[in-house]
Amino acid sequence: MLVETVKLSRIVMKLTPELISFLTSSELESEIVLRYGLEALEAEDVMEIIQFSISEHHKDAFYH
């Protein structure tokens, strides 16, 4: 099994570049671990990863 760690910005630019402007720089810098590598991702997967990343970054905002 190929495991690959990539920045969210790389994932978005490869599969859904039209969404890049909706993400903050800290969200784009998030490191994402992909179980089957970048080549196995589809656009639907990217949306799920983006939603999770946004929720994780906003969760931290509530604790400050």
Q: What is the residue-level pLDDT of the chain in tens, covering all 64 positions?
A: 789 999 999 999 999 999 999 999 999 999 999 999 999 999 899 999 999 998 887 775 655 5
**pLDDT at site 1:** 72
**pLDDT at site 58:** 77
Q: Can you tell me the distance from the alpha carbon of 40 to that of 55, in angstroms, rounded to the nearest whole number?
A: 23
**pLDDT at site 63:** 53
SS (H, E, C) the chain: CCCEEEEHHHHHHHHCHHHHHHCCHHHHCCEEEECCCHHHCCHHHHHHHHHHHHHHHHHHHCCC
**pLDDT at site 2:** 85
